[in-house]
Amino acid sequence: MLGVYRATVSEAQRFPDLARIFYERGPGRAESLLAEVLEAANQKGEARIADCTIAASHFIGMFRDNFHLRMLLGLTCAPDSKQVEKAVISAVDIFLFGISGSPKQSKIPPGRANKRLPRHK
């Protein structure tokens, strides 16, 4: 998948429609679907998010972490499953509770916050 990403980025200036389609059907679609999930959580009173599209973009960016850039630059290979799990759990905890230690206040053990994410139907 990284090869497709590299090729799309390198040819985006010459083929802007290709870049737009790639984004709309991949990253843009994921962002839109996540924004819908977050908006549903807002409607149910499970979240208070001013702009669900921006929040979805931030959340997705947290998953990419610096793994993505290091891999694009050829500085590292893909993370192993333990590194991915650790990064995902951290991103979910920070997204849901910030960095203030709120999981303790909410009585959810750190790393278990992802169990509270609303499911998209």
pLDDT at 115: 47
pLDDT category of residue 102 using cuts at 50, 70 and 90? low
pTM of the predicted structure, to 2 decimals:
0.72
Burial tier of 60 (Cβ tally within 10 Å: 0-12, 13-18, 19+): middle
Mean pLDDT estimate for the chain? 83
Average pLDDT over residues 52-62: 94
User: At 78, which amino acid appears?
Assistant: A
Above 90 in pLDDT, residue 30?
Answer: yes
Provide the pLDDT confidence category of residue 75 given band limits of 50, 70 and 90: very high
List helix spans (H) across the chain: 2-11, 16-25, 27-43, 52-64, 67-72, 81-97, 102-105
The CATH number of 2-116 is 1.10.357
The domain segmentation of the chain, as residue ranges, is 2-116
